[in-house]
Structure 1
Amino acid sequence: MSILNALYISRRPVAAFVVVGLFWGCFAAYIPVIKDQLGASDGVFGLLLLGSATGLVSSMWIAPRADKVLGARAMQVGAVLLACVWLVPGQITTPILFAVTMGFVGLCSGLLDVVMNERVSELEAEHSRSLMNANHAMFSLAYAVAAVITGFAREAGMPPTPVFAGFGVVAILLVPMLNMEVARVSAEDDHQGKYPLWPIVICGAIVLIAFMSEATVETWSALHVERTLGGGAAEGALGPAMLGFTMTFGRFSGQVIAERFRETQVMIIASLVAALGAIIASIAQTPIIAYVGFGTLGIGVSVIGPMALALVGKLVAPHLRTEAISRCAVIGFSGFFFAPTLMGLVSENYGLRIAFACVALLLIATAPLAVLAARLPLHAKKSAVRT
């Protein structure tokens, strides 16, 4: 019942996580089609996705300001913008225009990502309980469902735009759920004004590794199954879907675990499990073994990012929470876009098997960062006033 209660408490940001998950799941399953449509090599396609990274990094500065201006409607505006901008990439055949369009996708996605994670952190402080894993689980579930639906759509020969439009309708229907009052917190009387740099840097680096690993499977798993292992379109779409479903399971389980163990302890164990999954995927000889690898990676990596985002909210003064989560989230979410670029370059030169092996090495680096995070002092809680 703790999971259901967590979902009920955070039902408004949950709807935002579902919106983001639907679009990225659809995109992941359509990547082989879009890549062929652009006529791009692995390396070039990865570089084109830097457009998304540029937009996402821009949201680091825009999101906190937009949140102050839009207030309770910030998630609503972000969802509408995201639904509109996703109608464009699937129609483009010119690489440069695709990169520009993905820049706007990254900007809108980053805006909604930052705000919805900040709202969850507010609710965690207000209710004195962990909620982040349950919310990120709903992203993973929506992502997996969208990938499966898109796989059937691809088998039926449907182009990307109508499918994105269908998920856009779902997003618009969820907009009324996204109106949420904002918690305004004033600085403590004894606050010295020192900016919380190290909590943001360390937790941001952990989120970056987690989301880079996740993005690798999201972006390249379908190509790995179809090209390296000879699978069909539906089998390829099952790669990102497998990641989404196992991450859903992992994050719902993490919701329970987070209430019993310290975030840093769980992150260390999870990073080792995820690294094992990346190794299995890299040496797989059949799609089924690759699915085992993607699933193992998904279970491990599922809790790392949400727990690091929740942790940074506890390590900083309450009135700095929005800004800190914004910085940490953008550092982390940039991994969704830098990872495909790096993977594309590694894949073009050494193959996807080596690229997935590199992900395993990256995941192991989470452990020492988690040890450093465990040494940072937690900040005392302070009540917030919703306006």
Structure 2
Amino acid sequence: MPPTRRLLASTVIVFAAFGAFWGVWGAAVPRVQHQAGIGDGRLGLALLFVGAGALPAMPLAGRALDRWGPPVAAVAIAALGGAGAVVALTAVDLPSLCAGLALVGATSGAADVAMNAVAGRAEKTAGRPVITRAHGVFSTLVVLGSLATGAAASLPLVVPFAAVAVLAAAAGAFLLTTPPAGDVREDGCAPAPLGRRAAVPFLLLGVLGALAFAGENAHQSWSAVFAQGELGSGAGLSAVAPAVFAGAVAVTRFSAGGLTAAHARAVLLAGASAAAAGTLLIAAAPTLLVAGLGLAMAAAGTAVLFPTLLGIVARNARESRRGRATSIVTTVSYLGFLGGPVYVGLWADAVGLRGAMVAVAALAAALFVLAPVLLRLSGFGAVGRGRSRR
């Protein structure tokens, strides 16, 4: 297989493994919560540790990627699969769940940065859109993982996590054996420093990513809990909720995968609008069917947000700085991953899960207002007409 095609295939496989993991996790949250014996508020606290583990790992992954390349992603994705199995085996109370989720967060954060940087390299090398469609593969595997986990609800909790651990190890092995697909660096062999001034535009993109991730992870982490707690669905049926969300995300990402940077502002505004409207429909939903329709609308909106921001990074970051530029955007965005589920948990304790969904809609509204401003301040507001090399 030619090196470029091998790199593209490796990107797809790693995103598939990452999606399978989070599909299993999203559907298994109610069972993990039950095994740990905790309520909604403490579950929200425990979910905080996913982001807390991810945040310090992400900058390190970016630096490591710029120095050692795709093998960093291979190791990270394999470690993530093992971390999930550890949580399933050891999370029997709040402290053990928090410790396990910190490990999941660290490995997931490293894998997220590394695989997105690899996707950016693949997009640049192949000369065609890769990032958004790779995220579509991720979402498709979230659907399959969610459905499989729901179907396996009668089996021990560790079974689906063990299966995804095997898949993650295989994905890591395939990427590890992928040869370089040509040298696309502009600055020589050594990683070039990324100064504070050059980092600011990527920090601003990260603010938008934080709002996007907060809403996306709120739905992914809480949709099964909402279906079971507010609409009275069983454990198996509640697993359909994250599957509906991920399915709509996948369809949207494959459909929008060919959009260029010239459409970035419009895509962000349309996505934020759909996310807010869909989330409000969930909050008012009297039945699982209506909630599913709202969830699909919210999913279609959130689907395009983070990949669009990564596409801007891919077009504007120097290759020798790609890992660190990606890690800046992803790290700041993961503040939303850190805060989103906790935000829902706190609102759920105060006003119930339906009120918490209204609060999630407010996040999408904030993104709608801030997107034009921050794109202009970053200098990326006209990426379709020119390219800023940073």
Same fold (TM > 0.5): yes
Paired amino acid for 1:94: D
Give SS of 2:282's match.
helix
- CA distance 1:199–1:315, change in 2 (3 Å): farther
Superposed CA deviations along residues 118-175 of structure 1, whole A, max 9, x for unmatched, are 1111223334433211011011000111000000111xx2121111101212222333
Instruction: Give 5+ residue unaligned stretches, structure 2.
Output: none
Structure 1 residue 289 corresponds to structure 2 residue 287: no
| Structure 1 segment 216-255 matched on structure 2, within 5 A | 216-255=218-257
| Corresponding residue to 1:176 among 161, 173, 176 | 173
Deviation at 1:301, TM superposition (A): 0.7
Superposed CA deviations along residues 245-265 of structure 1, whole A, max 9, x for unmatched, are 000001011103x13852111
Of the structure 1 ranges 315-324 and 280-289, higher mean CA displacement relative to structure 2 is found in 315-324
Paired amino acid for 1:129: R
Deviation at 1:207, TM superposition (A): 1.4
Deviation at 1:380, TM superposition (A): 4.2
Cα separation, 2, equivalents of 1:220 and 1:286: 16
Query: What is the aligned-residue RMSD (CA, Å)?
Result: 2.4
Cα separation, 2, equivalents of 1:260 and 1:329: 18
What does residue 185 of structure 1 align with? 185
- Check the 8 A contact 2:231/2:287 in 1, yes or no: yes
Cα separation, 2, equivalents of 1:79 and 1:200: 24
| Corresponding residue to 1:24 among 7, 19, 22 | 22
Cα separation, 2, equivalents of 1:275 and 1:290: 14
Deviation at 1:234, TM superposition (A): 2.1
Instruction: Give 5+ residue unaligned stretches, structure 1.
Output: 1-5, 383-387
Cα separation, 2, equivalents of 1:319 and 1:212: 30
Cα separation, 1, equivalents of 2:318 and 2:372: 21
Compute the TM-score of the two structures, normalised by the length of structure 2: 0.89
Paired amino acid for 2:255: S
What does residue 365 of structure 2 align with? 364
Of the structure 1 ranges 280-289 and 62-71, higher mean CA displacement relative to structure 2 is found in 62-71
- CA distance 1:161–1:116, change in 2 (3 Å): same
Cα separation, 1, equivalents of 2:97 and 2:357: 26
- CA distance 1:331–1:291, change in 2 (3 Å): same
Cα separation, 2, equivalents of 1:95 and 1:373: 39
What does residue 209 of structure 1 align with? 211
Paired amino acid for 1:223: V
Give SS of 2:152's match.
helix
Give SS of 2:155's match.
coil
Cα separation, 1, equivalents of 2:195 and 2:172: 37
Deviation at 1:270, TM superposition (A): 1.2
Deviation at 1:239, TM superposition (A): 0.4
What does residue 129 of structure 1 align with? 128
Superposed CA deviations along residues 31-71 of structure 1, whole A, max 9, x for unmatched, are 11111111212111111112111110011232023324543
Paired amino acid for 1:170: L
- Check the 8 A contact 2:66/2:320 in 1, yes or no: no
Cα separation, 1, equivalents of 2:277 and 2:119: 30
Compute the TM-score of the two structures, normalised by the length of structure 1: 0.89
How many residues matched?
Answer: 372
- CA distance 1:330–1:282, change in 2 (3 Å): same
Structure 1 residue 350 corresponds to structure 2 residue 351: yes
Cα separation, 2, equivalents of 1:83 and 1:365: 34
Structure 1 residue 161 corresponds to structure 2 residue 150: no
- CA distance 1:94–1:380, change in 2 (3 Å): same
What does residue 8 of structure 2 align with? 10
What does residue 47 of structure 2 align with? 49
What does residue 200 of structure 1 align with? 202
Deviation at 1:317, TM superposition (A): 4.1
State the percentage of identical aligned residues. Answer: 26
What does residue 117 of structure 1 align with? 116
Of the structure 1 ranges 245-254 and 157-166, higher mean CA displacement relative to structure 2 is found in 157-166
- Check the 8 A contact 2:63/2:324 in 1, yes or no: no
Cα separation, 1, equivalents of 2:158 and 2:266: 43
Paired amino acid for 1:368: V
Cα separation, 2, equivalents of 1:58 and 1:381: 28
- Check the 8 A contact 1:281/1:293 in 2, yes or no: yes
Of the structure 1 ranges 275-284 and 335-344, higher mean CA displacement relative to structure 2 is found in 335-344
